[in-house]
Structure 1
């Protein structure tokens, strides 16, 4: 899959690109069923909110076949190769849940700020791809972006170790207010199967989910191979150390699993 000139300009201008319905509903549902099974597992890669519900499942591509295939899907890998101009490796992989009523906040931050400070990533030649596994609405804790903030470089941040179960380098209110006055604030919303690609320096957050609607998103953090991390302070399943270039699978790699499951259910 290749981005067109309009897509490339929008990404350069705003720092993100929203692609509604890039995956079919049944592809997204198959992945959602797999995510729910993972959240029930007692493994160190699954982190939980203070209420006990799942918050994040790390490195699912290493122990789940559907998520392994998603991590090598050409609709995700090829556009980032196009933008970064070289082969990629998987820096981080996580399935973030915003459980109905209990999903907690993700504070304002830049992902590359954490990758640089904690992982020694040399340059912001890495980016995120978010895949909606459930409908994302204005009510269930959508991502919030500040367009154009990726052009500000790495901003000063404080290390928040207390607000949630996940430590994060966060921005203060003054910085966020200044950036929003310049670029505004947007929340991409859309049906399950939609995808958002966003720059590693784009300032973003998400509010708590007090609605009765769950919201689950998979995040692939893809990095140029030549830009791999140099510090190994975080666990390998959080910041990966396998810099092998990703080789894309065929475009129907998820459809094959969907069809196989349907065939088994029909027997």
Structure 2
């Protein structure tokens, strides 16, 4: 999948690009079933909220076939490779969940400061590209983005270990207020299967989910090979050390996998 020049210009201007329904209901369903099974497991790669509900499942592309295929899917790899003009490797793969009623917040932050400070990533030549596994609604904790905030570079941040179960380099309220006054805050919403690309320095966060509607999103952090991390401090399942360029699978790989799973169940 190639981005048009208009889409590339929009990404460069705002720091993000949302493509609704990029994956079919059939493709989404096989991914949603895979995520549900993973969150039922007891693994070190699965981090939970303070109340025990699932928050993040890291590196599930290394042990689940559906997510292995998604991690090499051309609809995700090609747009990022097109933007950077370089081969990519997988810096991080995760499924973030906001459970119904109990899903916690993600504080306002940029991603690159964590990649830089904790993993030794040299430059912000990496970004997140994500797939909605559930319908993302205005009410169930959608990701909020401050348009154009990526143009301010790496901002001053403080490490917050108390607000949630996941430590994060976060921004103070004054910084967020100033940036929001300039760029506004948007929250891309849409049906499961939507695709969101956002710059590593884009300021973003999300509120908690107190609705009956769960919200799961898969995030691939794709970095250029030349930008490989130098001094990782986090576990390998969070900051990967395999810098091999990603070879995309065929575009119908998930569809064929879903068909094979149905046939096996019959």
Do Structure 1 and Structure 2 share a fold, with TM-score over 0.5?
yes
- TM-score w.r.t. the length of structure 1 is 0.99
Consecutive unaligned residues of structure 2, counting only runs of 5 or more, are none
1:202-258 deviations in whole A, cap 9, x for unaligned?
000010000110000000000000000011210000000010000000000100111
Aligned residue for 1:251? 251
Aligned residue for 1:92? 92
Aligned residue for 1:190? 190
Aligned residue for 1:48? 48
* 3-state SS of paired residue (1:7): helix
Alignment partners' CA distance in 1, 2:54 and 2:159? 23
1:263, CA displacement in angstroms?
Answer: 2.2
Alignment partners' CA distance in 2, 1:55 and 1:95? 8
Equivalenced residue count is: 266
1:77-112 deviations in whole A, cap 9, x for unaligned?
011000011100000010000000000000000000
* 3-state SS of paired residue (1:122): coil
Aligned residue for 2:136? 136
1:63-74 to 2 correspondences below 5 Å: 63-74=63-74
1:149-168 to 2 correspondences below 5 Å: 149-168=149-168
* 3-state SS of paired residue (1:75): helix
Alignment partners' CA distance in 1, 2:181 and 2:159? 24
Consecutive unaligned residues of structure 1, counting only runs of 5 or more, are none
1:182-207 deviations in whole A, cap 9, x for unaligned?
00000000000000000000000010
Alignment partners' CA distance in 1, 2:60 and 2:252? 20
